[in-house]
Structure 1
Amino acid sequence: MRLTRPDKGWSWVVMVASFFIHGLNGSILYGAGIIQVSLLDRFNRSVSLTSWAGGIFIFFMSSAGVIGSWIINRWGCRTAFLIGSVIMTSGLIACVFVKSLSLIFLVYGFVAGSGSGIIYTTGIVVVGLNFEKKRSIATGFASCGAGVGVFILSPVIQLAREQYGNCGVFFVMAGIALNMSVFGALCFPSYLEYYKVERHLADINLSVSSLSLSKKKRIYERVKVFANIPFFLICLSLFSSHVGIYLMYVHLPNFAISRGTSGFEASFLMSITGIMNCVSRLFIGFAGNSEHISTIILYFGTFSLLGISTMLFPFYGSNFVGQAIYAAFLGTYSGCCYVLLATITPNLVGLKNLATAFGIEMTFTGVGTLIGPPIAGFILDSGGTYEASFFLAGSSAIIAAVLGLASEVFHQVSHPTEAFISPENDKLFKEESQQQCDGIITQ
């Protein structure tokens, strides 16, 4: 078998395949608001109860990365794409036939969400295993597929709902999920991936006799990372921010419809968030690489602007124009943290503990996405208003911004020789981190 070398030949096909996989997966992920409207019509239950479906889906999408990583290490990225696609497709098809909302929580939230998480993780990893010198460019291009997919496919999902009903729309979504396996099949193993899997299998054979001591070491590493106060504050920041972010993603379409916006226009709001999310990730990536800008300042600023625009949304969101303006704000500022964490996290915990730290961060993110939408639903069902839930969402984003800044303050206290949020030191660390990451993946 001829293996692809990094940055050459078939690696570019893998990058394009990952772009389309991100697009298809993102359209279903960020279409949670359209699904929320569908479930309200289909089951005629409370807003808070139906909101759990989207929350559970996003939670397992965030949490299934551990499973995805294990599949990749054991069998490779192509197999991981196939398994994730089949799981996700099965869950969405089951949504057509189930008769109770509790079963929707299981097949849509747990099953489809887990499949989506496996695909999401693999879509990121496969690019890293095919590129070295041009990894940042390739990763940025591939991740932009999510925004493009939401922009194009959100109206398609809404039209499918209008054409085929609240049950039939899940068939269309299942077809979208199944097509991810087609693009995943194009991701033949590269030189880096092949030897990564081979080394993992060798490590398994060597560690069988000392399994207990391996377990103890991993537990110690996790406890050590979790006890890091600056890192813990970042985790709390991610939890707080995602309480608000996915509260808005799930409830924005239904709010718009309640204010007289058509269903198709409401779905177009999701398209706006998608394309702005795509553009903002590119710009924040370039800004984060600047020697004059600190990533922690960008982290604080993006969440602050998101919080302010959300708290003020009731004053300008009574018509479609105002709703479209807010959708642009939501898309622009809600996804920047994922780009910035690639620098912030290793700066706090070191490269050795990076994988453990990302796993913990995604858990906090998942819990935030799980409880945010139902909290808003509870406010509405208890006689409150959308305005009150939007104030909660905006406050959560601002708290997240403050916690991010507090993390840097505590980090400075424990590392007094480092300049406070120094752009120069930030740039040096980024360069060193990239070099060390390249070495780790190449080994």
Structure 2
Amino acid sequence: MFPVKRGRALGVLFAAFGIHFFAGVLMYGTGIIHLSLLDAFHRDDATTSVVGSLFVNLMCITGPLATYFTDRWGCRVTVLIGGILLVVGLVMSSFVNSLWLLLVTNGIISGVGNGLAVLPCPVAVGYVFRDHSGLAMGITTSGVGIGMLVSGPLIQYLLDTYGLSGTYLMSAAIVSHVIPCGMLLKTPPKKNLTLAATKHRVEFFKTYIKLVKAPSFMFVLVGSILWNIAYAVNMIHLPNFVVQNGSSRSEASFLFTVIGVGSILSRLIMGLATGPKGLDPLLLNFGLTALMGAVIVTFPLYVTYPTGPMIFATLYGIYSGGLLVFTVPLCLEFVGMQHLNSAVGLWFLLLGLGSLVGPPLAGLVFDLTGSFDYSYIFSGLFALTASACSLFASIWRKPEKETVTTRKEHEFSVAAENGFVAVQSHEAHMMKEQSENLISNNV
């Protein structure tokens, strides 16, 4: 059952899918642009990779900021602010001729804008698809996979046709479409869905303290840091790695298309698998991260073979694509609906910390050794360690899942469908108390 009218819920799903698509086009073109930045500025790999790394990572690191904006002004206003910053940063990037200025325009301004545009999407989807959050997240994040399909060839075409400056300008035009998509992210009224923290800002910070005291949830978050280190290394350095081992730039850019196909399939399948009475998302998270780590750590053994990069791209897309699908289902299980916004923000913050470390570290290892082999071995080991974190999370997990959807929440959903909400203060208190008890039971 939808907490809002079916048409509005589908509109939210369509909008979130669109935002992920345009963001995916830009994010997965970062590795192709990285090669052009190396040619344009002639700096070492570690320094140059900071531009793309900042852009990708700040999307996640802005999680708490996006959470605060969403709590205060709602999903639509947050996406509007993010879309404007994203476009402004890319337009400014087309006019600068310094790598350090690009760190500000493309890395920081566009990176923060990207985060504010993307991060309200899982929150909005979680609100309107509570019983089918896994499938809804699978459809939503498959937009990133489709964006990945076109990003490599598209960005390479723009670079060949318009150069680096023109590519930034055209990219701004492409991703400006997140703004009208964001206007469709209409969810039930904030004051009836969020914590009493909307009245007392200090509760905003207390919520995060409660979240980090849940051991099972924290192990999942630590695992997300580790696998995202490996994920970010591939996003930035995969084209350079395969080019150095005999592939052309067009072949390198096509790898992201192959990864995109596998990613779409993975996200949709994982979304279906984690539906009501479906497979355990924590178990699936363990399996995918373990397989992802195995594929990455062995890649240097077959990267020089003609079909090696294609095999890697196919397997990597399948095993890595579905990991983001588990964000909302695991957050709902471990912390409950009322803490969903804060939990998603914290999740993406820690994802960003992982991806912030990954590319510069891999670039530094390359500068010291002259090869990406060790970078891929280390990043694969990080992903394997992330799979172990999922096992540790199960130790503190409750033996039986407890849902925070009560009869009062059901009555709220019915009222929201009819266009009005009347939640009494004691009802809101009961929902908050149930959610806090759920977190404390995981401590």
Q: Same fold by TM (over 0.5)? A: yes
Alignment partner for residue 245 of structure 1, among 211, 219, 231?
Answer: 231
| In structure 2, C-alpha distance between the alignment counterparts of 1:252 and 1:178, rounded to whole Å | 27
**Equivalent of 1:224 in 210, 231, 235:** 210
- Which residue pairs with 1:316 in the alignment? 302
Deviation at 1:373, TM superposition (A): 0.5
CA contact (8 A) 1:157 1:172 kept: no
SS of the aligned residue for 2:119 comes to helix
- Is the partner of 2:176 in helix, strand or coil? helix
CA distance in 2, matches of 1:408, 1:223: 21
Which has the higher mean CA deviation after the structures are superposed, 369-378 or 243-252?
243-252
Structure 1 length as normaliser, TM-score?
0.83
Q: Deviations over 1:6-53 (max 9, x none)?
A: 343454344333322221111111222112112111111011111111
2:387 is matched with 401
For the residues of structure 1 that align with 2:129 and 2:215, how far apart are their CA atoms?
34
Q: Residue 63 of structure 2 corresponds to which residue in structure 1?
A: 65
1:124 is matched with which residue? 122
Amino acid of the structure 1 residue aligned with 2:169 = F
- Structure 2: runs of 5+ lacking an equivalent: 417-422, 424-443
* In structure 1, C-alpha distance between the alignment counterparts of 2:171 and 2:77, rounded to whole Å: 21
For 1:356 and 1:77, the matched residues in 2 are separated by 13
Partners of 1:35 and 1:354 in 2: CA distance:
35
Q: 2-side partners of 1:225 and 1:167: how far apart?
A: 43
Rate the CA distance shift 1:156–1:333 in 2: closer, same or farther, 3 A: same
SS at match of 2:290: helix
**Aligned equivalent of 1:422:** none
Corresponding position of 2:87: 89
**1:421 aligned residue:** none
Distance in structure 1 (CA, Å) of the matches to 2:264 and 2:407: 28
User: In the TM superposition, what is the alpha-carbon distance from 1:293 to its structure 2 partner?
Assistant: 3.7
Structure 2 equivalent of residue 171 of structure 1:
169
Q: Which SS does the other structure have where 2:178 is aligned?
A: helix
Alignment: residue pair count = 413
CA apart distance, 1:107: 1.0
Where 2:177 maps in the other structure, the secondary structure is helix
- Alpha-carbon offset, residue 299 of structure 1: 1.4
Q: Is residue 39 from structure 1 mapped to residue 37 from structure 2 by the alignment?
A: yes
My pick for the range that moved more, 433-442 or 384-393, is 433-442
Residue 304 of structure 1 aligns to a residue whose secondary structure is helix
Contact 1:23/1:149, CA 8 A, preserved across alignment: yes
Letter in 2 for 1:222: Y
| Structure 1 residues 230 and 200: CA distance shift in structure 2, 3 A | closer
Could you tell me whether the CA contact under 8 Å between 2:119 and 2:345 is conserved in 1? no
2:155 and 2:143 map into 1 onto residues whose CA distance is 17
User: Does structure 1 residue 196 correspond to structure 2 residue 190?
Assistant: yes
Identical amino acids, percent of aligned pairs:
29
Matched residue, 1:326: 312
Q: TM-score, normalised by structure 2?
A: 0.83
- Structure 2 equivalent of residue 294 of structure 1: 280
Provide the rounded CA distance (Å) in 1 between the counterparts of 2:409 and 2:54: 35
C-alpha RMSD of matched pairs (Å): 3.0
Aligned to 2:138: 140
> What is the identity, as a one-letter code, of the residue corresponding to 1:196?
K
Per-residue CA deviations over 1:356-400 (Å, capped at 9, x if unaligned) read: 333332222111100100111001111241111110111010011
Relative to 1, partners in 2 of residues 1:180 and 1:343: Cα closer, same or farther, differing over 3 Å?
closer
Relative to structure 2, which stretch is displaced further, 87-96 or 270-279?
A: 270-279
Distance verdict in 2 for CA 1:96–1:136, change over 3 Å: same
Shift of 1:274: 1.8
In 2 relative to 1, CA 184–296 (structure 1 residues): closer, same or farther, beyond 3 Å? Answer: closer
Q: Determine the structure 2 residue equivalent to 1:388.
A: 374
1:199-278 paired onto structure 2 within 5 Å: 207=199, 211=200, 214-215=201-202, 217-278=203-264
Paired position in structure 1 for 2:111:
113
